[in-house]
Amino acid sequence: DALMKKMMAHSVTVFQNQFAGDLANKIKEVMSGVPDLLRLLINHFFSHFLAFIIAIFTVWTIHYQFSILLASWIVIFSLGTAFFAKRARKLCSSAAEVRSSVIGHMVDILSNVFSIHLFSGKNTESKKLKRQLDAYVAADQKRDWWFVGMYSFQGLSFVVYQAIGFALL
């Protein structure tokens, strides 16, 4: 209800410049994204934070240097991940925007298929859709490669943490 009220508050030009299916898809993505975000925050962030605190305390009782090393790794890992996540959010948003545009275009093609056939616009619409699909694939690949870099950083940081830990033995 609140999303639709916000959408209806926009000027008419917003609706003239965007596909109806695109706008509907954006609303759907927001509606499905909020519960996912809350679930992620509760299930992963708080549980991992508590696990790290317990791990640091437990390791401290065994040897304080390992505890300092673990705390340092957690800080480096978290800061590096936050850096990657900031850019990843923009890339995900960009990919979602292109995907919404593709879906909106598909919906508009299907809802106007009679006019497309009547005016022999199949080739024109196919070319437009192919360009949009190519842009979607490119945006998805750019996002995915960024995530590969982030996961590589995370894995490498853990390997360095383990190597330093073994060196302290």
d(CA 78, CA 71): 10
Nearest residue to 95 via CA among 142, 128, 127, 33? 142
**What confidence score (pLDDT) does residue 32 get?**
66
Let me know how long the chain is: 169
Give the pLDDT confidence of 41-65 residue by residue, as tens digits.
677 777 778 888 999 999 999 888 9
Instruction: Name residue, tokens 């190519």.
Output: 134
- Percentage of residues in the chain having pLDDT higher than 70: 83
First to last CA, the chain: 60
Q: Quick one: DSSP state of residue 3?
A: H
Per-residue DSSP letter, 112: T
Question: What pTM was estimated for this model as a whole?
Answer: 0.65
Q: pLDDT band at residue 138, thresholds of 50, 70 and 90?
A: very high
- Condensed to tens digits (0 to 9), the pLDDT of residues 4-29 reads 677 777 777 776 777 676 677 777 77
